[in-house]
Amino acid sequence: MKKKSEKNIQKLELIDKFYKAAKENKKEIFSAIAQNLESPRRKESKINLSKLEKLNSVVDGDIVIIPGKLLGTGILNKKITIYAGDFSKNASLKLNSKVKKLKDLLTDKIDYKKSKIIK
């Protein structure tokens, strides 16, 4: 039997926290994020900054949630807040304070009407 790595254990704990938050807060967005996190790693979404810039559905002031990884290819001129499960060094250097970890979504007070999950 394979041992679970520390990263997998943290991911499982995060999934549990999102499901609990969905029940407590009655917000479907938390259960949708948990379901995306449960998918296999090979199906995990990897989003470039250039894709976020091209998306018409993402406008200034939005909160973008990426259950997968944010990559730093491209330029992002939109004024948005991004919550990502993981992000590359290049993306974190380009965006500085605009990028937050997915676990911070559970504690931050945000307007859920402005939030969008990008896969």
Q: What does the pLDDT look like over 17-50, one tens digit per residue?
A: 999 999 998 888 999 999 999 888 888 889 999 9
Contact of 80 with 60, CB cutoff 8 Å: yes
In a domain, 1, yes or no: no
What CATH number is associated with residue 15?
A: 3.100.10.10
pLDDT (0 to 100) of residue 15:
92
Residues sharing a CB contact under 8 Å with residue 63, sequence separation 6 or more, in sequence order? 80, 81, 82, 83, 110, 111, 114, 115, 116
Contact of 112 with 91, CB cutoff 8 Å: no
In a domain, 53, yes or no: yes
In a domain, 32, yes or no: yes
Number of domains in the chain: 1
Q: Which structural domain, as residue segments, surrounds residue 37?
A: 6-117
pLDDT (0 to 100) of residue 25:
87
- Look at residue 9 and tell me whether its pLDDT is greater than 80: yes
Q: What does the pLDDT look like over 73-104, one tens digit per residue?
A: 999 898 999 999 898 999 888 887 778 999 99
In a domain, 86, yes or no: yes
pLDDT (0 to 100) of residue 96:
79
